[in-house]
Amino acid sequence: MCITGFNGGMMRLLLVEDDDLLADGLQRALRAEGYTVDCIDRGDLVMPALQDGGFELVLLDLGLPGLDGMAALKLLRQKDKQIPVIIISARDALEDRISGLDGGADDYLVKPFSAAELIARVRARLRRRETPGTEVVQLGELAIDPERFTVSRNGEPVSLSRREMGVLLQLVRHRGRVLTRDQLEQGLYGWNEDVESNALEVHIHHLRKKLGSGLIRTVRGVGYSLSGEME
């Protein structure tokens, strides 16, 4: 369940798996790829976890305590049709795979599988998002390279700290959408850390100072978003 301090707004995955050993191994492998992974071990915790927001993809085991994986998937799809779901299950029967996919999963991987293949399939799903996390995003006078963690403005490189980059990446990834303060903080810290301060505001302030004040729009009482008019 642990979340190490190593996340700078990288992509956040939700792993639902009750086998502690497997969960631990997968978390390790995924984190090595740069993903932020939060893990839960009960099916009935899926919806509360997603409520917090900030997840980009769900890895879902089927045999779960609390609520079966398929039931959890059904609930999930009633609320959120967008987020990609990859089922990881030992059930290898054809009808399991088909009902999983038709139940709203985007992929179905049968245990045992190689971590490398899982990661490749995660990549394939995440590639399809609004703004691919691995490509350079051109935004007005800015060029943002999520892979190399660099940003340049009018060709001049700008140096951003980890947290600043984390905030920026989340905003870029959901370009145009308004992200609440809570969502942004969850993305930076994970959900077990609690921030009772205005740290986020300070990071926003620094970003505006470095990247121009027109970039980030404040929606008072709601959150922040990238101003959409520059392209």
Partner DNA sequence: GGGTGCCTTAAAGCAACCTTAAGGCGTCGT
Partner DNA sequence: ACGACGCCTTAAGGTTGCTTTAAGGCACCC
Say whether residue 106 binds a second copy (CB under 8 A): yes
Closest separation in Å from C-beta 20 to a second copy? 25
What residue 101 binds from DNA, a second copy, none (CB within 5 to 8 A, per partner kind)? a second copy
**8 A C-beta contact, residue 30 and residue 54:** no
* Of positions 4, 222, 228, 230, contacts DNA by CB under 7 A: 222
DSSP string, 114-129: -HHHHHHHHHHHHTTS
Q: How far apart are alpha carbons 11 and 50 in whole angstroms? A: 14
CA 10 to each of CA 30, 40, 198: distance values in angstroms, whole numbers, following the listed order: 11, 19, 21
**8 A C-beta contact, residue 154 and residue 141:** yes
Kindly tell me which of 77 and 206 has the beta carbon lying closer to DNA.
Answer: 206
HSE, side-chain direction, 13 A CA sphere, residue 191: 17
As separate numbers, helices (DSSP H) first and strands (DSSP E) second, the chain gives 8, 12
Footprint of a second copy on 62-101 (CB under 8 A): 94, 97-98, 101
CA 134 to each of CA 22, 30, 79, 120, 229: distance values in angstroms, whole numbers, following the listed order: 27, 16, 27, 13, 23
What residue 173 binds from a second copy, DNA, none (CB within 5 to 8 A, per partner kind)? none
Closest separation in Å from C-beta 5 to DNA? 9
Q: Which two tokens stand for residue 101?
A: 């996919």
Cross-strand pairs, 57: 13
What residue 120 binds from DNA, a second copy, none (CB within 5 to 8 A, per partner kind)? a second copy
Closest separation in Å from C-beta 196 to a second copy? 22
What residue 192 binds from a second copy, DNA, none (CB within 5 to 8 A, per partner kind)? none
Cross-strand pairs, 36: 12
Q: How far apart are alpha carbons 59 and 23 in whole angstroms? A: 10
Footprint of DNA on 153-212 (CB under 7 A): 159, 161-164, 181, 188-189, 195-199, 201-205, 208
HSE, side-chain direction, 13 A CA sphere, residue 193: 16
What residue 65 binds from DNA, a second copy, none (CB within 5 to 8 A, per partner kind)? none
Closest separation in Å from C-beta 103 to DNA? 35
The residues that touch a second copy, with contacts defined as CB under 8 A, are: 94, 97-98, 101-102, 104-107, 114, 116-117, 120-121, 123-124, 127-128, 147-149, 161-162, 176-178, 219-222, 225, 228
Which residues lie near DNA (CB under 7 A)?
8, 159, 161-164, 181, 188-189, 195-199, 201-205, 208, 218-223
